[in-house]
């Protein structure tokens, strides 16, 4: 399908400093199995330039630069960071929700699993405004129905 990368800083934030959290173990395992590759960003000057934008953190800056260097798509939850990426002509996709829908469309997960993942992410601290959360659940249910699977969590679907 495609290669997936995580920058060194994002790896440090999520796995090293985030040790003990569920996503930390998942990311570490994905790297160990070669499903996710740790990428060393080469253009430090561009990282520093992006960091001048007020609310951008180093992990987001590295992600933007890595996507540019790899001619890929930066998957970023933060709306401001996505806007900055667009300023630098970097393709972006909106984070976790994008990935969940991608996996759903590829048939890698079912609608009920997608809903469970969303619920776990929100419980573990992912902030989604109420409208986005409702729209996400509606789209998952609509996808399940359009695929003839019935409603999520339906044992017959």
Could you report the per-residue pLDDT of 114-156, keeping only the tens digit for each? 998 888 888 777 777 788 889 999 999 998 888 775 544 444 4
Q: For position 20, what pLDDT does the model report? A: 76
Give first-to-last CA distance, the chain, whole Å.
27
The more confidently predicted of residues 155 and 70 is 70
Minimal CA–CA distance to 150: which of 101, 112, 106, 93? 112
> What CATH code is assigned to 5-93?
3.40.50.1010
Range of weakest confidence among 72-76, 84-88, 128-132: 128-132
The whole-number average pLDDT for the span 8-19 is 90
Q: For position 56, what pLDDT does the model report? A: 93
Q: For position 122, what pLDDT does the model report? A: 81
**Residue boundaries of the structural domains of the chain:** 5-93, 96-146
* 124 phi, psi to nearest 5 deg: -90, 5
The whole-number average pLDDT for the span 57-75 is 95
pTM of the model: 0.71
Q: For position 37, what pLDDT does the model report? A: 94
Distance CA 123, CA 115 (A): 12
Mean pLDDT over each residue of the chain, to the nearest integer:
86
Q: For position 1, what pLDDT does the model report? A: 53
Q: For position 149, what pLDDT does the model report? A: 56
């Amino acid at each position: 399908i495609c290669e997936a990368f995580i920058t060194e800083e994002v790896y440090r934030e999520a796995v090293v400093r985030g040790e003990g959290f569920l996503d930390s173990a998942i990311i570490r395992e994905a790297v160990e199995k070669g499903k996710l590759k740790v990428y060393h960003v080469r253009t430090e000057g561009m990282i520093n330039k992006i960091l001048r934008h007020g609310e951008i953190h180093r992990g987001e800056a590295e992600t933007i630069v890595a996507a540019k260097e790899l001619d890929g798509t930066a998957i970023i939850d933060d709306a401001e960071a996505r806007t900055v990426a667009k300023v630098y002509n970097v393709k972006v996709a909106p984070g976790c929700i994008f990935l969940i829908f991608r996996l759903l469309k590829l048939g890698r997960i079912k609608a009920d699993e997608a809903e469970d993942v969303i619920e776990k992410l929100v419980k573990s601290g992912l902030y989604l405004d109420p409208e986005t959360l409702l729209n996400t659940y509606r789209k998952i249910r609509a996808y399940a129905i359009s695929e003839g699977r019935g409603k999520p969590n339906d044992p017959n679907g």
